[in-house]
Amino acid sequence: MERNNVIDFKALEKELQAALIADEKYSRENAAKFRAVEQRVATYEEFRSIVLASHLKPLERKDKMGGKRTVFRNCHTTQGRTSQDVATEISQKTPLQPETSAEFYRDWRRHLQSGPERYQALLQLGGPRLGHLFQTDVGFGLLGELLVALADHVKPADRVAVLGILRSLASTGRFTLNLSLLSHAERESCRGLFEKLQAMGTPTPMKEGLSQGEQGLEELSGGSREEERLLQELLGLYQVHGEDQLS
């Protein structure tokens, strides 16, 4: 048999492997698209991220190497960097810089699992940023989770920041509707949050040259008075009144 008629089995094997990889990729990404639709993702960016990350697989217990952080294993590489490196960067990215409400909801669900983590995330973002993210709508079920996180972990030193967060959330779209959808437990957490905020007050350090009486007058002026006015306003906005009115 002449040389040019000899079958190149290595070339055939490479071609077959390439076809199998292409078929696997198509099936994997197609399944990811169906999952994204079933999850009712809010934006095209989140839909695209789910599809692009469809090849990532979590390490098994035996593959973990001493750290608690979850990393991912896959065989794909791009421009000198492995997909494993990219996946590790994603898993280690601080989920505290959302640009949209959908990104916040994703990070809240996937990365912020404990109450303290959620509380610190809310403080870090702050009232103005949260108000901007949720200017259209906080989203079904999320308002209650935010209130629970604040109620369970609020500290006297954070009183002003928490009041600001509550004020921003109250200014979001369809706030009254979302408030009416709170569960009984979430309503109790809301009431408890305001009880704690009122009990904390706004202690002011003693200033040199002022008697206790003069110090008391200082506490009733300026920021302290504004905080109390805001607290009373929020009591009405969050419908903590009537039987729930704080003494």
- Alpha-carbon distance of 186 to 195, in angstroms, equals 14
What pLDDT is stored for residue 214 in this prediction?
46
Contact predicate 132/169, CB 8 Å: no
| Residue 26 confidence (pLDDT) above 90 | no
Averaged pLDDT, 91-109: 76
Average pLDDT in the 62-68 region? 50
pTM listed for this prediction: 0.55
Residue 95 has pLDDT above 60, yes or no: no
pLDDT at 213: 45
End-to-end CA distance of the chain: 101
Question: Looking at residue 202, what is its pLDDT?
Answer: 54
Beta-carbon count within 10 A of 185 CB:
10
pLDDT at 41: 63
Span 2-7, average pLDDT: 60
Q: Tell me the longest C-alpha to C-alpha distance in the chain.
A: 111
When mean pLDDT is compared across 56-60, 148-152, 192-196, the lowest value belongs to: 56-60
pLDDT one-digit tens code per residue, 111-161: 888 999 999 999 999 999 999 999 988 877 899 999 999 999 999 999 999
Weakest-pLDDT range from 28-32, 47-51, 63-67, 179-183 = 63-67
Mean pLDDT of the chain: 75
Tell me which residue has tokens 């898993």: 91
- Mean pLDDT score, 168-194: 94
At residue 76 the predicted structure's pLDDT band, cuts being 50, 70 and 90, is very low
Q: Which two tokens stand for residue 90?
A: 């994603």
What's the mean pLDDT in 181-190? 94
Q: What is the pLDDT of residues 217-238, one digit of tens each?
A: 444 444 688 899 999 999 999 9
Whether 41 contacts 50, CB under 8 Å: yes
* Both structure tokens of 144: 């209650």
- What's the whole-number mean pLDDT along residues 66-82? 46
